[in-house]
Amino acid sequence: MLRALLPLALSCLLSPAFADERAQTQQQLEATRKDIAELQNALGKVQAEKAGVQKDLQTTETQIGTLEKQVEALQQQLKKTEGELERLDKEKKKLQSARVEQQRLIAIQARAAYQSGREEYLKLLLNQQNPEKFARTLTYYDYLSKARLEQLRAFNQTLSQLAGVEQDISRQQAQLLAERGNLDSRKHDLEAVRSERQQVLAKLNGDLKQRNQALQARQQDQADLNQVLKTIEETLARQAREAEEARQRALLAEQEAQKRRQQEALARAEAEKARGAARSEPAPVEEAPARPRQPLGPVVSSDGASYGGAFSAARGKLPWPVNGRLLARFGDARGNDARAKWDGVLIGASPGTQVRAVHGGRVVFADWLRGAGLLVILDHGNGYLSLYGHNQSLLKHAGDIVKAGEAVSTVGDSGGQESAGLYFAIRQQGRPADPSQWCRG
């Protein structure tokens, strides 16, 4: 009897303690829920501010890309102008040589005229013994005079042309230097703005990461508290169940004892028999519930339909879009979140390095995209696409046809990258493919 009542007494003693612990745990859980709500609200504000900064960064990086394209066009113009300057310089040297030769001839004629003077001409006028010789001599002197005038005219024309060429050279050089200075100034200003916005974005990312960590910690606290509360409730339920079972066993034992006493009063023989029949049966032993087996994951296969065409025939033969080092491979984890995987590769390269198409195709996208920065997407037909992201500038527009090896962009760090690098990916019917299986090793 006492043995049967002992579990009931222990349950009555322990139940208030578990009830107090449950109440305290519930209070902690409510406090944790409030903290989580406040953290989520703060995260929402930070994310909204980050979205605004990213939008400003998109505008700035797009402007920088356009400016880089203008700078490249100006550099091409500079090359053409340098060629024109070389041509003008050669023409200038020819004119200078012609001027020197003309000066030499004029000097010879002037010296000859000075030495002969006008005496020979006067002698011819006074000596008319040979009229034919006189006529020829006059014609000769007239020819010499015209030759001197023609040389003087050509010399003056050469000097005028030379002055014009020198003016053209000076004017073009000044114009190009002014345009280059203007573009450099604009680029410097935009770079300063981008640097400032990237710093703000980095700070927001740091705040967002810190708040995410705090939120994850509070969520883990909530999960732990929920587990503690669940354990307490299960313990209280088990104690209540055991107390009820102990009470039922005590009641049954009392009934059996009373029945035995009544039977002993009737007859000792029957009491002996009743005593054996009234022996209490052992309490049923509860079997621990079987632990449910973890369901197996579904069987998946990577086999897919094959697509023919020129691009599919180039598997393992394509060149890489840029020279550099692989900073991230296909399938690697992105950052600290193991759930996020790289669906392409990241190639480290110097800023401004030209990015070349790995295969001929048509540009279907050339613009800024969140997470990828300035992005170019080429369509190679039969469902094959190649992607080039985080660029500094875009050299092509949507709809342009490009050849294999043609430059489509320049390497940069747009889209929030910490360092310069090219994001390169290949898609087949919208599914990511490992670029290392398509490009030469």
| Domains of the chain: residue spans and CATH | 1-282 (1.10.287), 312-437 (2.70.70.10)
- Residues 64-106: tens digit of each pLDDT: 888 888 878 877 887 887 787 788 888 888 877 877 877 787 7
- Distance in angstroms between the alpha carbons of the first and the last residue of the chain: 84
- Residues 166-181: tens digit of each pLDDT: 788 788 878 878 888 8
Write down the pLDDT at residue 325: 92
* Owner of token pair 């006074």: 126
Overall average pLDDT of the 283-308 stretch: 33
Cβ-proximal residues to 257 (8 Å cutoff; 6+ apart), any chain: 1
- Residues 323-343: tens digit of each pLDDT: 999 998 999 887 766 677 889
Instruction: Please indicate whether residue 269 or residue 118 has the higher confidence score (pLDDT).
Output: 269
* In the predicted structure, residue 261 carries a pLDDT above the cut 50: yes
Instruction: Please indicate whether residue 247 or residue 352 has the higher confidence score (pLDDT).
Output: 352
Q: How far apart are CA 88 and CA 164, in angstroms?
A: 10
Pairing of strands 373-381, 384-394: antiparallel
Task: Identify the band that residue 355 occupies on the pLDDT scale cut at 50, 70 and 90.
Answer: very high
The amino acid at residue 143 is Y
Against a cut of 0.75, is the pTM above it? no
From 4-8, 51-55, 201-205, 382-386, the region with the lowest mean pLDDT: 4-8
Q: How far apart are CA 233 and CA 23, in angstroms?
A: 11
Report the DSSP beta bridge partners of residue 348: 325
* In the predicted structure, residue 248 carries a pLDDT above the cut 80: yes
- Note whether 173 and 179 are within 8 A (CB): no
Report the DSSP beta bridge partners of residue 412: 421
Q: Of 18-27, 45-54, 219-228, 295-304, which has the strongest mean pLDDT?
A: 45-54
Write down the pLDDT at residue 320: 92
Report residue 348: phi and psi, to 5°: -80, 130
* In the predicted structure, residue 230 carries a pLDDT above the cut 90: no
Q: Long-range contacts of range 214-222, CB-CB < 8 Å, 24 or more positions apart?
A: 214/39, 215/36, 215/39, 215/40, 215/43, 218/32, 218/35, 218/36, 218/39, 219/36, 221/32, 222/29, 222/32, 222/33, 222/36
- Residues 129-146: tens digit of each pLDDT: 566 665 666 676 667 677
